Amino acid sequence: MTILLIGHDANRAGAPLVLLNLMRLLKAEGIQMRLLLGEGGPILADYQAICPVTIASAPNQYVVGALADKVLGKLGLWQQFYDRQVKARQQEIRAELGLDSVDLVLVNTVAGSHWFTQLAIPDKTPVVTFVHELAMSVRIYSQPDELAYLLNRTTHLLAVSKATARYYEQQHGFDPARITLYTLIDTPTLEQKVQQAREQPSLYASLGLPTNALIVGGCGNAEWRKGNDLFITLARQVIGRTKSENPTLTQPIHFVWVGMPAGTLHDDLLLDIQKAGLAHQVHLIPPTPEVLRYMSRFDVFVLCSREDPYPLVVFEAGLSEIPVVCFEGAGGSPELVETDGGFVVPYLDLDAMSNRILELLDQPQLRKRMGRRLSQKILERHPAQQSVETLVTLFTQLTA
């Protein structure tokens, strides 16, 4: 069986990492693959080690050249030349991918709809779409007409959580009989990585954190959807309340966000941090492959995302035996956290979230119990081998 995979980029983020893990497992099952990526990124070489990769990069900045383009523009011919160039690139990509010899197409994320619409996949070829996005991300990462085309052409939909499945059923009219709940987490490898991270020296000394500090952690990209701003507000509330309401909690509390690159949002948040007098207690760490060395030493993981379908970071926190506090109605995490793996609080109720964080910081035994239970649930519900078998069975049925 030969599968064409379509991914949006090779960044070190949830969906691309899940795709990489999936490709490794499919390769072990003897499945041949080709990958079309919208753009490259830091994990491109990891993809290339598994199968041939084609990057559908945008056409050149100029159709002919800077001066010639101006002349074409004045003659009203630029668009015609540009469209011709785009069409030629699309034909080149189709030839490179050998679409007629592909048995099945797997589109990873709604962002892949952009490239899928350009491929003219033969009608007989089954299409599986793996959706990791809810309303906000759909709006940001896809165009309505392109997504509608992809969903109309999708034979079977894989959804990462019940919340995600419900969204595509209710908002896009997708037939629930053709939706499978599917989460791919390579739990054995992730467990091993957590263990390795714990065995390495702590990175917190370099940040000037005292050895007895209690660490509330957040992790993810720098974007409004992830609630980076809410994280700063929470830090202000929790640290402020400790002094007035929790005099027994004498250990210093530090808030650490991993995954915040330099840029406007970073600078805006830093200004808030400084004005709130939190410069020594709130730390913004840029994106790093060492994320687990930070995370495995968190005491509480706070998922303040406004929307996150079923984030990998919750699995990483859980397998590090760290309890999670998250919002109801912000995605699939409450399905895993429930009442025994941390706390689920009403959407955007920062008071409730602060109280729950303080409760966990104040009670080491509660933290330990909830963290262990979350880890246990992940291992019970997401065995990696069972995951890949489910997928191979589905592919075999669709291509029969």
Domain boundaries, the chain: 2-185+383-399, 187-381
Q: Report the distance separating Cα 236 and Cα 281, nearest Å.
A: 10
Q: What is the pLDDT of residue 311?
A: 83
| pLDDT score at 293 | 93
pLDDT at 54: 82
Residue whose entry in the numeric block shows the structure tokens 């679409």: 99
Non-local CB neighbours of 362 within 8 Å, separated by 6+ positions: 246, 248, 249
pLDDT at 61: 57
The first and second tokens of residue 121, run together, are: 């996949």
**Domains 2-185+383-399 and 187-381 fall in the same CATH topology:** yes
pLDDT of residue 66: 66
Predicted confidence at residue 58, as pLDDT, reads: 58
Instruction: Give residue 39's pLDDT.
Output: 81
Are 156 and 398 in contact by the 8 Å Cβ rule? The answer is: yes
Tokens 């079977």 correspond to 156
What pLDDT is attached to residue 52? Answer: 86
Looking at residue 60, its pLDDT comes to 59
- Which residues are paired to 159 by β-bridges? 131, 181
Q: Looking at domain 187-381, which of 2.40.30.10, 3.40.50.2000, 2.60.40.420, 3.50.30.60 is its CATH number?
A: 3.40.50.2000
73 and 110 Cβ atoms separated by less than 8 Å: no
CATH class belonging to 2-185+383-399: alpha beta
| Two tokens, residue 178 | 């053709």
State the pLDDT at residue 71: 67
pLDDT, residue 266, reads 93
Residues of the chain with pLDDT under 50: none
pLDDT at 259: 93
